[in-house]
Amino acid sequence: MSEIDYEKLAEIELQKDEAEDAQSNQEKTFIPPPLEDPELNINHPYYDVARHGIIQLAGDDNSGRKVITFNCCRMPPSHQLNHTRLLEYLKYTLDQYVENDYTVVYFHYGLKSLNKPSLKWLQTAYKEFDRKYKKNLKALYVVHPTNFIKILWNIFKPLISHKFGKKVTYLNYLSDLKEHLKYDQLNIPQEVIRHDENLRGKQKGKLPPVVKIPPPRPPLPTQQFGVSLQYIKDKNKGELIPPVLKQTVSYLKRKGLRVEGLFRRSASIQTIKDVQKLYNQGKSVNFDDYDDIHIPAVILKTFLRELPEPLLTFECYDHILGITNVESSLRVTRCKQIVQGLPEHNYVVLKYLICFLHMCWKKTSAAAESVVDEVDVFVMFVKKMWPWSSEGSETV
């Protein structure tokens, strides 16, 4: 079986794990997330990664060796985490202890399609850890391994020496750690503990009460995707138009107004993730570098789709659906009332978008073959501004 086949198989197994977890975690009670390390300073050289608590020092093992833990459940979605920085931070942490014997505990639970590093990253990571790191690593404990881990092992087998392979121990339950480590010193995430309880419950034929997974760590100050308009406004000196929105619209005005299928075509998923990372980290984005006009268009739609509250707000939902019950001659007036009742930043952003879409329509309708007519443009973006139910979308 080729490496590509193994990678596809690994992805399938990961999706199976996610589906099984979704059935177990039916959100009943809430467990608050652990507080950030009070000693973690915002000036830490890897604060953007360290704040998530993915890598932690966890006391000593039974032989007095330092223990470093890696928590997959603490990894945010890939577009919110620079994996190159994660690798650098891992090496930065290990560099403080590799001169002496040390132990690593890898908590696999929580690795999902949305947050897993690429296979190329994993291969690079393994090669980055030269003899200095491998020599004094005395044990690597993989907790809650799944078929995904087994497949991954087959992919990396040609790279892994027999000597290193003997250091790896698979542990199905947290209690197995007690034979090797000082369990009480381990700062095990609550969701990992809960997963362990679920596994034991299944073994006994019943499931314990389920809990809600704690929310992710606070966003970066420069975050653009997955945060509220208010958050972006507060972090950008009161600017009402988010930087990502302003830049994509500006670029599309200059170079995309006459492009066929501008808001209907897709773009490379990996490229979109890469661009999201740049925006979230406050770095500059030059769309000319990608040579694909559909990338800024997709980024614009993705920004709207990932807003925690839709641009037209949850509060307006019933009002918008009720427009169909208003007399035809009064519907425009009613629409104006609803829009004018939006929060200030929602209203300004909506007006900014509508003006841009109207410009798109004027340019495309002037062409011999209109690319997108006025109704299509509106419907397409309304779906991004508000997560309609199928019933609601049909009504509108």
Report d(CA 130, CA 300) in Å as an integer: 42
b/e code 128-162 from CB counts within 10 Å (16+ = b)? ebeeebeebbebbbbbbbbebbebbbebeeeeeee
Q: Which range in 289-293, 325-329, 359-363, 366-370 is most confidently predicted, on average pLDDT?
A: 289-293
User: Which one has a higher pLDDT value, 390 or 157?
Assistant: 157
Q: Is residue 66 within 8 Å of residue 102, measured between CB atoms?
A: yes
Question: What is the rounded average pLDDT of the residues 299-314?
Answer: 87
pLDDT score recorded for residue 25? 53
Q: Which range in 32-36, 264-268, 370-374 is most confidently predicted, on average pLDDT?
A: 264-268
pLDDT score recorded for residue 290? 92
Report d(CA 299, CA 267) in Å as an integer: 9
β-strand pairing of 211-212 with 66-71: unpaired
Q: Which has the closest alpha carbon to 9: 92, 119, 104?
A: 119
Question: What is the rounded average pLDDT of the residues 253-281?
Answer: 85
pLDDT score recorded for residue 242? 95
Amino acid in position 246 = K
Report d(CA 166, CA 216) in Å as an integer: 35
Q: Residues 130, 136, 142, 147: is their CA dihedral positive or negative?
A: positive
In the structure, what pLDDT confidence band is assigned to residue 303 with cuts at 50, 70 and 90? Answer: very high
pLDDT score recorded for residue 24? 57
User: Which one has a higher pLDDT value, 389 or 230?
Assistant: 230
Q: Which two tokens stand for residue 228?
A: 């509220």
pLDDT score recorded for residue 115? 86
Q: Which has the closest alpha carbon to 93: 129, 125, 61, 68?
A: 68
pLDDT score recorded for residue 234? 92
User: Which one has a higher pLDDT value, 395 or 102?
Assistant: 102
Report d(CA 240, CA 11) in Å as an integer: 40
Average pLDDT, the chain: 79
Report d(CA 280, CA 225) in Å as an integer: 7
Beta-carbon count within 10 A of 344 CB: 11
pTM of the model: 0.52
Kindly report which listed range (133-142, 161-170, 190-199) carries the lowest average pLDDT score: 161-170
pLDDT score recorded for residue 86? 92
- For tokens 């994996």, the residue is 83
How do residues 103-120 score in pLDDT, each as one tens digit? 999 999 998 888 888 878
Report d(CA 159, CA 269) in Å as an integer: 29
In the structure, what pLDDT confidence band is assigned to residue 358 with cuts at 50, 70 and 90? Answer: confident
Report d(CA 298, CA 300) in Å as an integer: 5
Q: Which two tokens stand for residue 238?
A: 């009161």
What percent of the chain stands above pLDDT 90? 28
In the structure, what pLDDT confidence band is assigned to residue 128 with cuts at 50, 70 and 90? Answer: confident
Report d(CA 355, CA 339) in Å as an integer: 14
pLDDT score recorded for residue 130? 80
Q: Is the pLDDT of residue 335 over 50?
A: yes
- 374-385 and 294-305 helices, crossing angle to 10°: 50
Q: Is the pLDDT of residue 93 over 60?
A: yes
How do residues 173-200 score in pLDDT, each as one tens digit? 999 998 888 888 888 999 999 999 988 8
pLDDT score recorded for residue 245? 95
Residues 6+ apart with CB under 8 A from 79: 225, 272, 273, 276, 277, 280
pLDDT score recorded for residue 160? 72
Q: Is the pLDDT of residue 36 over 80?
A: no
In the structure, what pLDDT confidence band is assigned to residue 72 with cuts at 50, 70 and 90? Answer: very high
In the structure, what pLDDT confidence band is assigned to residue 364 with cuts at 50, 70 and 90? Answer: low
Q: What dihedral angle (degrees, nearest 10) is formed by the CA atoms of 384, 385, 387, 392? A: -110
Alpha carbon 374 to chain centroid, angstroms: 34
pLDDT score recorded for residue 7? 55
